Amino acid sequence: MERYQQADPEAPTVLVVAMSPALLRFFRSQAASREHADDLLQETWLRIHRVRHTYRPGEPVLPWLYAIARRVRIDGYRRTRRVLAHETTVDVLPEPAPRLLPQGPFPDMETLLAALPTAQREVIAMLKMGGLTLEEVACATSSTVNAVKQKAHRAYNRLRKLLDQAQFSTTQIGGGSK
């Protein structure tokens, strides 16, 4: 990042190649479609380019990048909400079928994460998929370490309940009572 600030022509490419997979996983974990996640990633890199002067040399780069990515995601959500507020429906659409957990012993991670509230999903994505520390997540989300711990704890509890429910439902379906 310091080389990028000093106008090294190779630095942006190195930074994008190194960090894009982690940022894309962050956006995908927020239940966005692949196309939407790609758009958010592109917007993040444009914003990083515009605000690269705000990075403080010597500071960890990951919390700074994730804070920008988080703001891009929030701005994208707000933009989508504004567009939807001005749209009018022509016909009544049928109600979508309720989203069920897959019929296997363990649901896929995307399904489990989609069941979490946004703040919890975001913290889990940064901690487990992004590899950030509690302090880095707290910095990226503009919250305290204790708040991050609480969100992670609640997310883990919710995930355990979902996995228990999925395991219970497959035992009931697969095995019979005697």
Q: What is the DSSP string of 26-51?
A: HHHTTT--HHHHHHHHHHHHHHHHHT
Q: Are residues 84 and 135 in the same domain?
A: no
Residue of 124 and 168 predicted with greater confidence: 124
- Full-prediction pTM beyond 0.75? no
pLDDT reported for residue 158: 92
Q: Are residues 63 and 13 in the same domain?
A: yes
The DSSP symbol for 59 reads: S
pLDDT digits (tens, 9 = 90+) for 80-137: 888 777 766 666 666 666 655 445 566 677 888 888 999 999 999 899 888 899 999 9
Rounded CA gap, 73 and 99, in Å?
A: 24
pLDDT reported for residue 177: 44
Q: Which residue do the tokens 């079928």 mark?
A: 97
Of 48-57, 89-98, 126-135, 156-165, least confident by mean pLDDT is 89-98
Q: Are residues 78 and 113 in the same domain?
A: no
pLDDT reported for residue 51: 92
- Using a 10 angstrom Cβ sphere, with 0-12 exposed, 13-18 middle and 19 or more buried, the burial of residue 117 is exposed
Element (H, E) at 135: helix 134-141
pLDDT reported for residue 170: 52
Q: Are residues 84 and 109 in the same domain?
A: no
Q: Are residues 9 and 44 in the same domain?
A: yes
Q: Are residues 148 and 128 in the same domain?
A: yes
Q: pLDDT confidence of 174, banded at 50, 70, 90?
A: very low
Share of the chain above pLDDT 70, in %: 80
Q: Are residues 59 and 132 in the same domain?
A: no
By the 8 A CB rule, do 115 and 158 touch? Answer: yes
Q: Is the pLDDT of residue 178 over 80?
A: no
Q: Is the pLDDT of residue 19 over 80?
A: yes
Tally of domains within the chain:
2
Q: Which residue do the tokens 């894309």 mark?
A: 24
Q: pLDDT confidence of 32, banded at 50, 70, 90?
A: low
Q: Are residues 153 and 128 in the same domain?
A: yes
Domain that holds residue 6: 1-88
Structure tokens at 20: 């894009």
Structure tokens at 45: 């890199």
Cα angle: 42, vertex 44, 48; to 5 degrees: 120
By the 8 A CB rule, do 123 and 151 touch? Answer: yes
Residue of 173 and 6 predicted with greater confidence: 6
Backbone angles phi, psi at 162, to 5 degrees: -65, -40
Rounded CA gap, 155 and 152, in Å?
A: 5
The CA distances from residue 130 to 18, 24, 52, in Å, are: 12, 10, 21
pLDDT reported for residue 168: 59
CATH of the domain at 146: 1.10.10.10
pLDDT reported for residue 135: 92
pLDDT reported for residue 146: 95
